[in-house]
Amino acid sequence: MADLSKVNVIVKKYSDMKTPLIPILKDVQTEYQYLGEEVLTEVAKCTNIPLSEIYGVATFYTLFTTRQKGQHIIRFCDNAPCYVKGAEDVLEAIKKHLHIEIGETTEDNKFTLESTSCLGLCAVAPCMTIDDDAHGNLSPEKAVAIIEDYRMKGK
Ligand code: FES
């Protein structure tokens, strides 16, 4: 069980605010990496806000995540310019290789696959980022090789 004592510290920090839930959840996510059930239940306890309302906010905003993420975050561009250049085939190859869909994490907790809007890399479409690194001109084979490189080198 995680040490949940920091939740109360964070909640107290925003005690003067009229609607503090979003900043509280932001800080709590920074502290605990994701907004799991245990943590959200503690937020409900400390704020006296119904858990259902907290879940509603935590699942509505894309900046919040209620599931643990993998060691590496793959963000795959799903905008039209990348699709025109073959992104769909690349994405299918990644999903097949990792046995996950968008929004999921591999069983070994190594990779989380997310879709994203334009990465500003249209000139080298199709493209993705892994953590802070950009990868462009992807083919299905190249994308899988790059991902395996992260796994092998324990990057
Ligand atoms: S549309 Fe994919 S990077 Fe711009």
Q: How far is the CA of 57 from the centre of ligand 1 (A)?
A: 29
Q: Are strands 111-116 and 72-77 parallel, antiparallel or unpaired?
A: parallel
Residue of 44, 46, 42, 37 lying closest to 65 (CA atoms)? 37
Residue 138: how many CA atoms within 13 Å on its side-chain side?
31
CA dihedral 144, 147, 148, 152 (to 10 degrees): 170
At 63, is the pLDDT very low, low, confident or very high (cuts 50, 70, 90)? confident
Q: At 73, is the secondary structure helix, strand, or coil?
A: strand
User: Which of 75, 77, 137, 138 has the most ligand 1 atoms within 8 A of CB, as the residue to mutate?
Assistant: 77
- Which atom of ligand 1 is nearest to 119's Cα? 3
pLDDT at 115: 93
**What is the model's pTM?**
0.71
pLDDT at 141 over 90: yes
pLDDT at 51 over 80: yes
H-type alpha helices, the chain: 5-13, 21-32, 37-47, 51-60, 80-84, 87-98, 140-152
Which CATH superfamily groups domain 72-152? Glutaredoxin (3.40.30.10)
Q: How far is the CA of 139 from the centre of ligand 1 (A)?
A: 15
